[in-house]
Structure 1
Amino acid sequence: MDDRLRSLAMDAFLQLGLPTHLTLALLIAHVERTRGRRIVIVETAKLTGKKICGLWIPRENVDVVYHSVTRGPLHRQQMILHEISHMILRHDEVDGATWQGIKVFQQLSGEVVAKALARGDFRSDLEATAEHLADLLASALRTSSKEILSYEDYFE
């Protein structure tokens, strides 16, 4: 990852102005306020985690984050943070992004999702920037005294 992408992720992180005591729920609420849209998180077995483990679908009035089934809370958190990072970075508004209408899940009753990000290339600049921002957010959660997923506590 080049310095330009790291800088984009860091700038987005700093602009969030997150509180010192942070939880995943507080982060989601903060992003909802910032975007003016509700965020719904859905775990689904329809994502196997082999090619796609998370998918953000911006709908008309709500951002839906789908993630694959996982037994590990840290893995679940990272998948959610990655998709939320796309929201924070406003990748739904980026010119030239690889967005396409796709049918994803049966529960959408055959609706075509207007702006679902096609995850064909995990090495794209958008994906790399979102993953770096997700790492920054995960670090903020780990160092927060309120976050129960502070895994460093298990190794003391």
Structure 2
Amino acid sequence: MSRLRRRCERRLENIPIPNPFDLDTFCAVMAAHRGRPLTLQPMPGLSAGAPCGLWISVPDADYVFYDPGTSRLHAEHIVLHELSHMLSGHTTGLNADLQAGPAADGGVIGRLVPDLDPTTIETILGRTSYTTAQEREAEILASLIRARSGRRPAAGRLSHAGLPGDTLGRVADVLKFPS
């Protein structure tokens, strides 16, 4: 596991991470890093039993879909997980459920992005489990991104509302997350 963590840390060496963390700012960093637009899109129906996040890459853009029905902090982590696939250069992971039925015939991809020509899709990654090496790497990298950004989201962003005091900050201190 330490080798995987070191590899993830190396991937972040030249990626500026906003502090305090701001997801929109980090997405702009990723778009600039990849030299192409990045669109975040809430997509109801991405949840338990289906991928809670999805990355679709076409030749000139990236699209990240996430479950809007989860907590703001979880939605942020879902997006960071998908961005971590990008940072890691993952290009496989199209699961059979997503392959079934071409977009033109009302398949899953056609419902997600009806204006997208299915022949232009280069990568589709959807997380349904953590059992593959790519999924573990994306999960660790997403956690490292957030840990390196400081303890608190920027004002108006994902928060830990409802927790007494600064519970998450204290947990981060105990776990020795870098600030």
Give the TM-score taking structure 2 as reference length. Answer: 0.70
Deviation at 1:42, TM superposition (A): 1.0
Distance 2:83 2:25 in 1: 13
Letter in 1 for 2:12: F
Deviates more, 1:132-141 or 1:74-83: 132-141
Gaps of 5+ in 1: none
Report how many residues are paired.
151
- Match of residue 61 from structure 1: 60
1:149 to 1:44, Cα distance in 2 relative to 1, 3 A:
closer
Deviations 1:107-153 (A, max 9, x none): 42684333212546531111101001111122234525735435399
Letter in 2 for 1:155: P
Distance 2:48 2:79 in 1: 13
Deviation at 1:16, TM superposition (A): 1.1
Distance 2:126 2:79 in 1: 17
- Match of residue 73 from structure 2: 74
Distance 1:138 1:24 in 2: 10
Letter in 2 for 1:123: T
Deviation at 1:22, TM superposition (A): 3.2
Gaps of 5+ in 2: 103-108, 166-179
Deviates more, 1:25-34 or 1:62-71: 62-71
Deviation at 1:46, TM superposition (A): 3.5
Distance 1:79 1:130 in 2: 10
Any conservation in 1 of the 2:52–2:128 contact (CA below 8 Å)?
Answer: no
- Match of residue 160 from structure 2: 151
Report percent identity of matched pairs: 24
Any conservation in 2 of the 1:46–1:105 contact (CA below 8 Å)?
Answer: no
> Does 2:89 correspond to 1:90?
yes
Letter in 1 for 2:65: Y
Any conservation in 2 of the 1:43–1:67 contact (CA below 8 Å)?
Answer: yes
1:138 to 1:49, Cα distance in 2 relative to 1, 3 A:
farther
- Match of residue 130 from structure 1: 138
- Match of residue 41 from structure 1: 40
1:40 to 1:14, Cα distance in 2 relative to 1, 3 A:
same
Letter in 2 for 1:149: L
1:48 to 1:91, Cα distance in 2 relative to 1, 3 A:
same
Deviation at 1:76, TM superposition (A): 0.7
SS in 1 for 2:13: helix
- Match of residue 5 from structure 1: 4
